[in-house]
Amino acid sequence: MAKELTGPTRTFAELLDWFESGGPFSLRGLGLTPYVRVEDFEEDGMYVLRAEMPGIDPDKDVTLTVEDGVLTISGERREEKKEKHRQEWHYGSFTRSLTLPRGVDPDKITASYEDGVLEVRVPKAEPSTNAVTIKVNRNEK
């Protein structure tokens, strides 16, 4: 029988969030905060990258570029939470660069944003050395 943990006990994820959000020994102050968490995989002959980016407006806050085989996600996060007796702000710029696999076509990259997740799809083709800016489309429900 598992014992239920209550009170001041926290999960590892909650502890990591606390460090990232500015605890006394904040990872942000050390430059180690993973501002953009990503997962990547291949699916149907495409390289797919998903990035957790809650609280951003993809039309204004995110820029995607590809140069010399490196995809760079950059932008600025501005988030505000209001509760009855508490108010929090999360803001700051972020950049995350990832090397694309060989044989992709940067001219045909697509990006979409839904439910706080940015998804970038990169079809395989001949490598290119030209820099490309990718427009992020908002998925409306």
Is 14 strand, coil or helix? helix
Angle (CA) 43-44-46 rounded to 5° is: 65
User: Can you give the three-state secondary structure of 57-114, one letter per residue?
Assistant: CHHHHEEEEEECCEEEEEEEEEEEEEECCEEEEEEEEEEEEEECCCCECHHHCEEEEE
Where does residue 23 rank: exposed (0-12), middle (13-18), buried (19+ CB within 10 A)?
middle
Average pLDDT over all residues of the chain: 76
Domain boundaries, given as residue ranges, for the chain: 35-138
Which of 36, 73, 14, 49 has the alpha carbon at shortest distance from 122? 49
63 versus 81: the higher-pLDDT residue is 63
Displacement of CA 103 from its chain's centroid (Å): 24
pLDDT digits (tens, 9 = 90+) for 4-53: 444 454 555 555 555 555 544 444 444 444 467 889 988 888 899 999 88
* Overall pTM surpassing 0.75 (yes/no): no
Which of 106, 96, 104 has the alpha carbon at shortest distance from 134? 106
What type of residue is 90? Answer: H
Tokens 């427009």 belong to: 135
CATH class of 35-138: mainly beta
